[in-house]
Amino acid sequence: MTTMGIDPADLSDDDLLRELRQLHVTRTDTFLHGSDDALATHTSRTNEMETEYLRRHPERDVDPNRLREGARAR
């Protein structure tokens, strides 16, 4: 079930990534200044997009520096 807009499953890979980037750009502003409803909608939509991305890319490229061992090495 989609909270708003186009179902993420219907987006091309390029469109999905563009939407994810835009959601991440607007996250802080929504968190700090949005209404409770706006924050809930933003969170839900972000979850939908991220879930779809992970469904499509279960073997996504993980930066070793973002893992616990990589952090310890720094």
Is the pTM higher than 0.85? The answer reads no
pLDDT of residue 12: 98
For residue 20, is it left (φ>0), alpha (ψ between -120 and 50) or beta? alpha
Residues 31, 32, 34, 39: what is their CA dihedral angle, to the nearest 10 degrees? 20
DSSP state of 64: G
Model confidence pLDDT, tens digit, residues 8-52: 999 999 999 999 999 999 999 999 999 999 999 999 999 999 999
